Amino acid sequence: MSKEAILNGIRRGLKRGPLPADQQAMLAGRLASHPRHLQPARAQLPRPQQVALFLRNVEKEFGTVERVPHAGAVPGAVADYLAAQNLAPKFVLAPNPELWAMPWSERPMLEFHSGRAEATDLVSVQHGFVGVAETGTLMLPAAPTRPTTLNLLPDTEIVVLKASGIVAGYEDAFDRLRAENQDALTGGFMPRNVMFVTGPSRSADIEQTLELGAHGPRRLHIILIDDDPAALPTDDQA
């Protein structure tokens, strides 16, 4: 069978037999400790500057951002953003307890259903897991409370992210996932899907010229909840 053929082909090419047990143990050790490589200095910053870098990078990649002081302000921010974009106040909401707990009834104009996105949904409100400051990238691991279709089908995606969720690099994001996610199927931490999202969908396939809004959302808006006192802007930043 081809598995054996390929493995034997590899060993023949490398001029050796199967790896000896000690070498295998060494490699298994490397997998278990999964050492980090060089971390770019640009994101190794005090918390307030790290959050500022994240937001700056989101905007550099054509996303938009708004900071709100607490979770209670999110429904208002969603309603105002949709109104400002001249969009209907209708959306699909990630079935997430933190999002559910927000005072949506204070904005009775807002109309939403909670679940996965369907082709008819034009706006989604997604639950952000982690934000990576290095490049303004969101990490959105799939979960029953965070369906992947919310990141893909609607024209506009609004992501609600906590400032305490902002980290320096992608490795820090994976560390959070390693620590916080338990996957029942594998016993590991990876869900079916982990999406890193940096700005709205785009294509440069026509004459290498950038156009926003290819197959994914045309707009990506991040509402950042300032839940981390240590990450608030300092006076010298303002």
Partner 1 sequence: MQTVHSPDFKRNAARALADTGLQKALGTAKGAFLMRRASAVAALPEFEQLRDIGRDIKNHTLANLDFYLETFAANVEKAGGKVHWCSTAEEARETVLAICRSVGAKTVTKGKSMISEELGINDHLEHHGITPVETDLGEYILQLRQETPSHIIAPAFHLNREDWEADFRRLHTHLPKDRVFHERADIVAEARSTLRDKFLAADVGITGANFLIAETGSSVIVTNEGNGDLTQTLPKVHIALASIEKVVPTLEDACNMLRLLARSATGQDFSVYTTFSTGVRRQEDLDGPEQYHVVLVDNGRTNMLGTEFQEMLRCIRCAACMNHCPVYGAVGGHAYGWVYPGPMGSVLTPSLVGIDKTGLLPNASTFCGKCESVCPVKIPLPKMMRHWREREFERHLTPATQRSNLALWAYFAKRPGLYRLATRLGIGALHLLARGKGAFASLPLAGGWTAGRDLPVPQGETFMTAYAKSQRAKGKR
Question: Footprint of partner 1 on residues 94-153 (CB under 8 A)?
Answer: 95, 115-117, 119, 134-135, 137, 142-144, 147-149, 151-153
**95 or 128, CB closer to partner 1?**
95
Amino acid (one-letter) located at 61? E
Report the candidate in 190, 204, 200 with the shortest Cα–Cα distance to residue 143. Answer: 190
Return left, alpha or beta for 103; rule: phi > 0 is left, psi -120 to 50 is alpha, else beta. Answer: beta
**153 or 163, CB closer to partner 1?**
153
Quick check: 154 binds partner 1 (CB under 8 A)? no
- Residue range at the interface with partner 1 (CB under 8 A); choices 68-76, 82-90, 165-173, 230-238: 165-173
Q: Which of 48, 128, 131, 169 binds partner 1 (CB under 8 A)?
A: 169
Q: Could you tell me if 150 and 197 are in contact, meaning their C-beta atoms sit under 8 angstroms apart?
A: no
Q: Which of 73, 217, 224, 225 binds partner 1 (CB under 8 A)?
A: 217
- Residue range at the interface with partner 1 (CB under 8 A); choices 47-55, 72-80, 159-167, 196-204: 196-204
**27 or 230, CB closer to partner 1?**
27
Q: Which residues from 40-59 bind partner 1, rule CB under 8 A?
A: 40-42, 57
**1 or 238, CB closer to partner 1?**
1
Smallest separation, CB 100 to partner 1 (Å): 15
- Residue range at the interface with partner 1 (CB under 8 A); choices 2-10, 68-76, 96-104, 123-131: 2-10
Query: How deeply is 47 buried, as exposed, middle or buried, from its count of CB atoms within 10 A (0-12, 13-18, 19+)?
Result: middle
* Paired tokens of 191: 């869900």
Q: Which long-range contacts (CB under 8 A, 24 or more apart) does 98-103 make?
A: 98/71, 98/127, 99/74, 99/125, 99/127, 99/160, 101/71, 102/71, 102/72, 102/74, 102/75, 103/72, 103/75
